[in-house]
């Protein structure tokens, strides 16, 4: 497995009206496209390698991406720009090429043609979804958002067309209802969920590759039989607080490579695009269930050494909703 990191940085303009209803606007910034990732590599934008070289993490000269709905001739067309908080809905979208045609051929990565991340602007609600594609190129997935507010939808995919690279396109989604803002949880190094405890070691550094290690235990004992999920023992997504800069990485090593153990440790090589506060979401599977552990991390600047803040939530079934707002579909 490629141990590098690809980073997509997003910057959005959000217009909100507080009271009984909530609205959200859209923003678009162009970015520079990098080459397609290696098989089973990472998604998103490249990050600088240690020392500023190219290395496995991409070209140091590549700027972090912006919040883009279109890139390299491809556009994320969200057919469901708003939903009602607390009510079941179907999220529908297409990816269109430069001629306006719906894309119907994709490269499979980590077992899926497209990965969909959905997060609230306050980073207290998180979804990792795997929508279904119809023959005409329309993607759809059920979703129920627990609170009103602004959300961001990230579509991570690689078109099958020769020479096309991996893309992460984004669009704004609004959930109507009474808006009640939530503060980002304070940093801590431990997250707990349904009898599981996840400890995070390592420091997320701006502009420098570093290793983050997450240790999974249950009832005080290390979990050594983590199960492969989408071809890995864990998936990590990080979003920067404020502008939702996006960092999607995968662990060092993979199941069946002869060296990677199935727990309790899952390690990642990551580079933050800048100093700031980030929210990390770790997905892992054990005994047939997907779990998500959430942390708040500070990269660079004052308080950077006080790392992660943890909340975590059990994932008993595909797409099941939970009280803390985290959810995962198969």
pTM recorded for the entire structure: 0.74
- Name the average pLDDT for the chain: 77
Q: Same topology for domains 6-176 and 190-328, yes or no?
A: yes
Please count the other Cβ atoms lying within 10 Å of the Cβ belonging to residue 320: 15
What percent of the chain clears pLDDT 90, i.e. is strictly above it? 53
Q: What is the C-alpha to C-alpha distance for residues 195 and 240, in angstroms, rounded to an integer?
A: 28
Per-residue model confidence as pLDDT tens digits over 205-251: 998 898 999 999 999 999 999 999 888 999 998 888 988 878 767 78
Q: What are phi and psi of 52, to 5 degrees?
A: 90, 5
Q: Which two tokens stand for residue 51?
A: 């020392």
Is 287 exposed, middle or buried, given 0-12, 13-18 or 19+ CB atoms closer than 10 A? exposed
Tell me the domain boundaries of the chain: 6-176, 190-328
What percent of the chain clears pLDDT 70, i.e. is strictly above it? 70
Cα distances from 259 to residues 1, 81, 233, 253, 285, in angstroms, run 12, 45, 13, 7, 19
At residue 302 the predicted structure's pLDDT band, cuts being 50, 70 and 90, is: low
At residue 307 the predicted structure's pLDDT band, cuts being 50, 70 and 90, is: very low
- Beta-bridge partner residues of 296: 279
Range with the poorest average pLDDT among 172-176, 182-186, 197-201: 182-186
CATH superfamily of 190-328: Immunoglobulins (2.60.40.10)
How many angstroms separate the first and last alpha carbons of the chain?
22
Is 257 exposed, middle or buried, given 0-12, 13-18 or 19+ CB atoms closer than 10 A? exposed
Indicate whether 73 pLDDT > 50.
Answer: yes
Per-residue model confidence as pLDDT tens digits over 28-69: 333 333 333 333 344 444 433 333 333 333 333 334 433 689
Residue 197: which H helix or E strand, with range? strand 196-201
Residue 304: which H helix or E strand, with range? none
Indicate whether 134 pLDDT > 90.
Answer: yes
Q: What is the C-alpha to C-alpha distance for residues 167 and 154, in angstroms, rounded to an integer?
A: 10
At residue 170 the predicted structure's pLDDT band, cuts being 50, 70 and 90, is: confident
Q: What is the C-alpha to C-alpha distance for residues 245 and 207, in angstroms, rounded to an integer?
A: 14
CATH class belonging to 6-176 = mainly beta
Rg, the chain, Cα only: 18
- Beta-bridge partner residues of 117: 128, 154
Q: Which two tokens stand for residue 80?
A: 């469901």
């Amino acid at each position: 497995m490629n141990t590098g990191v690809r980073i997509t940085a997003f910057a959005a303009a959000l217009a909100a009206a507080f009271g009984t209803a909530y609205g959200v606007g859209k923003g678009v910034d162009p970015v520079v496209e990098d080459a397609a990732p290696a098989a089973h590599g990472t998604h998103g934008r490249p990050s600088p390698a240690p020392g500023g070289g190219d290395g496995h993490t991409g070209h140091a000269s590549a700027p972090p991406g912006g919040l883009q709905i279109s890139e390299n001739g491809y556009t994320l067309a969200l057919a469901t720009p708003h939903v009602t908080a607390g009510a079941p809905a179907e999220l529908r979208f297409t990816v269109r090429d430069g001629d306006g045609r719906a894309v119907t051929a994709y490269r499979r990565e980590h077992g899926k043609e497209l990965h969909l991340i959905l997060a609230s602007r306050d980073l207290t609600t998180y979804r990792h979804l795997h929508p279904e594609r119809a023959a005409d190129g329309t993607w759809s997935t059920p979703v129920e958002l627990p609170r009103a507010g602004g959300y961001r939808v990230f579509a991570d995919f690689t078109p099958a067309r020769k020479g096309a690279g991996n893309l992460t396109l984004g669009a704004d989604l609004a959930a109507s209802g009474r808006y009640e803002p939530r503060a980002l949880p304070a940093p801590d190094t431990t997250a707990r969920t349904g009898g599981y405890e996840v400890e995070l070691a390592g420091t997320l550094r701006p502009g420098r590759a570093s290793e983050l290690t997450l240790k999974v235990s249950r009832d005080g004992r290390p979990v050594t039989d983590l199960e492969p999920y989408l071809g890995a023992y864990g998936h990590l997504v990080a979003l920067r607080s404020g502008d939702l800069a996006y960092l999607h990485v995968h662990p060092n090593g993979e199941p069946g490579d002869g060296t990677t153990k199935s727990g309790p440790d899952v390690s990642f090589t990551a580079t933050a695009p800048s100093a700031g506060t980030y929210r990390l979401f770790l997905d892992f599977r054990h005994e047939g269930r997907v779990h998500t552990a959430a942390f708040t991390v500070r990269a660079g600047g004052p308080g950077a050494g006080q790392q992660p803040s943890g909340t975590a939530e059990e994932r008993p079934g595909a797409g099941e909703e939970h009280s803390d707002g985290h959810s995962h579909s198969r």
